[in-house]
Amino acid sequence: MMLHFTKMHGLGNDFMVVDLVTQRARLDSERIRALADRRFGIGFDQLLLVEPPLRPDMDFRYRIFNADGSEVENCGNGARCFARFVLDQKLTAKREIAVQTAGGNLLLKVVDDGRVRVDMGAPRFAPADIPLTADAPAHDYALDVDGETVHLDALSMGNPHAVIDVDSVDHAPVATLGPRIEAHPRFPRRVNVGFMEIVSRQSVRLRVFERGVGETLACGTGACAAVVSGIRRGLLDQHVDVTLPGGTLSIEWAGPEHPVIMTGPAERVFDGRIVI
Ligand SMILES: N[C@@H](CCC[C@H](N)C(=O)O)C(=O)O
């Protein structure tokens, strides 16, 4: 049987997108890892599955798998590609699309310049919601990493994020510290690790070591988490441009209980099909 897919990216964070509204397939974690392989497979950071909704008030269900085959709760760059995909495939004619994810519901809107604006929901700070082992919520958690103390902020954007301030992302220890924090025992479901350089109150640079993938060219939820962290610590204004290795995202947050709004591009690269 043939399975049609589309390769897409949001600022170089790349995806294999599969329509499971009009097609049927079961892809287990071993198969996902094989497809994600950049030499022997198609190559992607995440697999995105477009499914019918489980609730009548939603338009679609959106499932996300990291390149290591693990299913995760949320993916910001993927959400923008999801919106473009369902419109291009004519799975909907709506310009505002309500989507269920394992981490909560999202509202996606395609704006006039072709970019996609996503209501990413409100961030959560309770340690149990991240999840992070800690006695109380804080802005500054001290983690013992192989005998060295690392200070970081942590929060959930549906998925778990740690945010570390650095003087320069160019010299940040993304490849060495990233994997040790990702797998730190105080994050029982592992964590995405962002390294943030504050350039001004409206601009940051960011690199993210993603859970289940490694460093990617961009991470939408990571950009939201970094800006929320900077705003709640009084370091950033309400609208911030986040420059990642793959390009820039615009992030807005009005404060606690408010949703984070992310705006950025979504690009189709090619269509293909595989035998399953
Ligand atoms: N690239 C994503 C995040 C994908 C999921 C993440 N690796 C996780 O495990 O939570 C984004 O754009 O948000």
- Cα 94 from chain centre: 23
DSSP state of 43: -
pTM for the model stands at 0.97
Q: Are 244 and 11 in contact (CB under 8 A)?
A: yes
CB under 6 Å to ligand 1: residues? 13, 45-46, 66, 72, 75-78, 159, 192, 210-213, 216, 219-221
Class of domain 127-258: alpha beta
- Cα 35 from chain centre: 20
Task: Report the complex ipTM.
Answer: 0.99
- The annotation status of 71 as a binding-site residue, yes or no, is no
Q: What is the pLDDT along the chain (276 residues), one digit of tens a residue?
A: 999 999 999 999 999 999 999 999 999 999 999 999 999 999 999 999 999 999 999 999 999 999 999 999 999 999 999 999 999 999 999 999 999 999 889 999 999 888 999 999 999 999 999 999 999 999 999 999 999 999 999 999 999 999 999 999 999 999 999 999 999 999 999 999 999 999 999 999 999 999 999 999 999 999 999 999 999 999 999 999 999 999 999 999 999 999 999 999 999 999 999 998
How far apart are alpha carbons 121 and 38 in whole angstroms? Answer: 32
Q: Domain residue spans in the chain?
A: 2-121+265-275, 127-258
2-121+265-275 placed in CATH 3.10.310.10: yes
| pLDDT at residue 131 in the model | 98
- The annotation status of 77 as a binding-site residue, yes or no, is yes
What lies within 8 Å, CB to CB, of 115 at 6+ separation is 80, 263, 264, 265, 266
- Give 185: exposed, middle or buried? Use CB within 10 Å, 0-12, 13-18, 19+: exposed
Of 111, 138, 88, 58, the residue nearest 271 (C-alpha) = 88
CA of 165 to the centre of ligand 1 (A): 20
Of 162, 57, 76, the residue nearest 119 (C-alpha) = 76
